[in-house]
Amino acid sequence: MIDFQQVINSIHNDLKQEIDRGLVANYIPELSHIDANNFGIHLKLLSGESFSVGQAQAPFSIQSISKVFALSKAFQLQGNDLWQRMDVEPSGDPFNQLSLLELENGIPRNPFINSGAIVIADILVSGLENPKEDFLHFVRALANDQTIQYNEAVAASEKATGYNNYAAANLLKSFGNLQNDVADVLDFYFYQCALEMTCEQLTNAFYLFANHGVCLQNKEWLTASQIKRINAIMLTCGFYDEAGEFAFEVGLPGKSGVGGGIVALLPNQLVISTWSPGLNPKGNSKIGMQALEAFTTKTKLSIF
């Protein structure tokens, strides 16, 4: 029997001493003020037990982790028609790379790079009556938590400085792969990325990805087949051009965000989230990556 509290306590104690914690994202000005010493872990077993250490209850900007929720909602709305507008291949490039998009005629490599996520945002703007409100309600329902909110200051900061995303959206529009106005799609996208959640809330919201599409409230939001596909994309594309490294070191499907969060899962067993705002050169949480590698090494729990 694994003592999970002892495992995450040990990992937390070891890594909070690290001197090199990576660099906090500064290209989104509102994120640049976050203290790099923040570090939390939250673990939830499908049996219902939960374990926390550190700043697991501190809210942070989940950024690209939100792309998993957006993909899930779009999949719910459109089914497999979704894949006519994007691929499911790893990009091998940074999350904001535009050259592949031009070479491949406006079809993003996968839904987790920025261009793919902007196409997903376009689908949600078309398919939801009140996109920002409906999407927030969806995430709240998955987490069983009505307190989850957008961070308005982060959304405004992204809108003011997100030039690469404006370029991606206009390029997509030029290839006919954006149906709504660029401004409307990006307004939704910037809010989506500005969702603020704690490690515990993230872990709860991702419960359905370890439980064949059934969330904490025992409601089936997605089919087991859809969950299988989303988990596969998380494994191969969830960490941009470091996805292979994460699979190699950690061995779990997961998703990162430049706010320093990472969430990963083992189907039928557990979900684990970490938050440490300092990023490595690939844009993933430096301490979070190390924490999850230590977790699967100590527990011998991975999909491999």
CA dist 68 to 37, 95, 109, 121, 231, Å? 26, 14, 15, 12, 9
pLDDT of the residue at 240: 84
Separation CA 160–CA 99 (nearest Å): 23
pLDDT of the residue at 94: 63
Average pLDDT over residues 230-251: 95
Q: Single out the residue of 110, 115, 106, 79 nearest to residue 235, CA to CA.
A: 110
Task: Read off the pLDDT of residues 248-275 as tens digits, 9 standing for 90 and up.
Answer: 999 999 999 999 999 999 999 999 999 9
Average pLDDT over residues 238-243: 91
pLDDT of the residue at 93: 66
Q: What's the pLDDT band for 109 if we cut at 50, 70, 90?
A: very high
Could you state, in order of their start, the residue ranges of all structural domains in the chain?
A: 4-299
Task: Read off the pLDDT of residues 125-174 as tens digits, 9 standing for 90 and up.
Answer: 999 999 999 999 999 999 999 999 999 999 999 999 999 999 999 999 99
CA dist 102 to 78, 110, 177, Å? 25, 14, 12
The CB-side HSE value for 273 (13 A sphere, CA atoms) comes to: 29
User: For domain 4-299, is the CATH number 3.40.710.10?
Assistant: yes
CB 265 within 8 A of CB 206: yes
Average pLDDT over residues 21-40: 91
Q: What's the pLDDT band for 177 if we cut at 50, 70, 90?
A: very high
Q: What whole-number percentage of the chain has pLDDT above 70?
A: 98
Separation CA 192–CA 86 (nearest Å): 19
Q: What's the pLDDT band for 96 if we cut at 50, 70, 90?
A: low
Task: Read off the pLDDT of residues 199-227 as tens digits, 9 standing for 90 and up.
Answer: 999 999 999 999 999 999 899 999 999 99
Using the predicted structure, report yes or no on whether residue 104 has a pLDDT greater than 90.
no
CB 166 within 8 A of CB 187: no
Confidence (pTM): 0.97
pLDDT of the residue at 296: 98
Residues 6 or more apart in contact with residue 44 via CB below 8 angstroms: 50, 51, 203, 204, 207, 270, 271, 272
